[in-house]
Structure 1
Amino acid sequence: MIVDIIDDERHVREMLAEIADILGYQARTYQSGDEYFAYVTSPQYQPPGVVISDVRMPGIDGYNLMRKVNRLYPDVPFIIVTGYQEVEDKCSDIPHTFMRKPFNPEVLEAVLAELNLR
């Protein structure tokens, strides 16, 4: 299963990709919401099993990215990750899971298991 990871911090992208790999998932990483949405709207797009996205990024933030992707692909689930005190119900109209940074690999593993992505 493919996990798309979007975060403007390289070390966070790499850490999430490594965790996904250890858990048996294939990770694709993107450094911004704009870069990811360009991929989503390209003919090469292959919907992932899940998207893991940071909230605060330059350009399209995680919430708006989720809304834009959801309009085109309503079945793609999102895991929204942030270190900030966000209001979790900002996107209550879109199915998603919310995780706070920092988290350990077991938390991500449990969230992926809850989404039945195996």
Structure 2
Amino acid sequence: MIKAHLLLVEDDYDFGSILKQYLEVHGYQVSWAVNGQVALELLHKQEQIPFSIAVLDVMMPEIDGFQLAKKIIQQFPEVPFIFLTARKLKEDKIRGLKLGADDYIVKPFDADILVLRIQNILRRTQQHLKQPETEANLKISSYYLDTQNYCLLREGKVQKITEKEAALIDYLFQNKNKLLKRETILQQLWGEVDFFSGRSMDVFISRLRKYFKEDPRIKIKSTRGIGLTFLVEK
């Protein structure tokens, strides 16, 4: 079995070294970057075979974790990422989730928890996006969802999206024209039902509405207190 390849970005040498060894003991291949610039260089070197996931420290000099995450989303949208931080501010966690983070873990933490979170994220991304090659392009009214290159195509225009956005679109389309409970969507895509996951999902839904706004036959209807319906007219 091919090992999942993790990008660990951590500027604390002692902590980074220990965490790298711990992840390797649990069967992961780990590339460790001591700052954001080195991380970007490693991402470009792995462009043909992208990292399975990135684990980003937030507080780093020059390019902090939030800035690095924005660059990853722009250049490598297929790579999911987790934030690690010593900052416990609610605003920071919301900011991280709004950026599209799959998780936000506050230091100090139990390393076993990080391993479990990584396993859950990789399992979800593989479950939702591992499709036969013939189904790589999913037709959604006038759009095509490319689940291999993470983009939406319409009339010659290409909209790059993140891996999680692709998973969410895929899940909603597979359940189109049905009222889905918020708790069900959160459990399926985020793996947990809590305030921060809910806020993160709301941000993702807002993005999806913008992506599909050119086609009036596609709507994401919110039913207050219950959930969402992905409406697609024939």
Q: Return the TM-score normalized by structure 1.
A: 0.88
Match of 2:37 among 34, 37, 41: 34
Give the unaligned 5+ runs of structure 1. none
User: Does residue 90 in structure 1 map to residue 95 in structure 2?
Assistant: yes
CA contact (8 A) 1:6 1:33 kept: yes
Alignment match, 1:105: 111
SS state of the match for residue 115, structure 1?
A: helix
Q: Percent identity?
A: 22
Give the unaligned 5+ runs of structure 2. 127-234
Alignment match, 1:74: 77
CA RMSD of aligned residues (A): 1.7
Runs of at least 4 residues off by over 4 Å: none
Amino acid at match of 1:78: F
Shift of the alpha carbon at 1:99?
0.6
CA contact (8 A) 1:81 1:101 kept: yes
SS state of the match for residue 122, structure 2?
A: coil
Quick one: structure 1 residues 32 and 93, their matched pair in 2 at CA, closer, same or farther if it must change by over 3 Å?
Answer: closer
CA contact (8 A) 1:67 1:94 kept: no
SS state of the match for residue 69, structure 2?
A: helix
Alignment match, 2:27: 24
Shift of the alpha carbon at 1:100?
0.8
Bigger share in helix = 2
Shift of the alpha carbon at 1:88?
0.8
* Structure 2: distance between partners of 1:93 and 1:67: 7
Match of 2:68 among 65, 84, 95: 65
By relative contact order (CA 8 Å, sep 6+), the higher-ranking structure is 1
Larger Rg: 2
How many residue pairs match? The answer is 116
Shift of the alpha carbon at 1:19?
1.5
SS state of the match for residue 65, structure 1?
A: helix
Quick one: structure 1 residues 9 and 21, their matched pair in 2 at CA, closer, same or farther if it must change by over 3 Å?
Answer: same
Alignment match, 1:52: 55
CA contact (8 A) 2:7 2:53 kept: yes
* Structure 1: distance between partners of 2:39 and 2:99: 21
Q: Deviations over 1:23-56 (max 9, x none)?
A: 100111010012112333x4x2242111111001
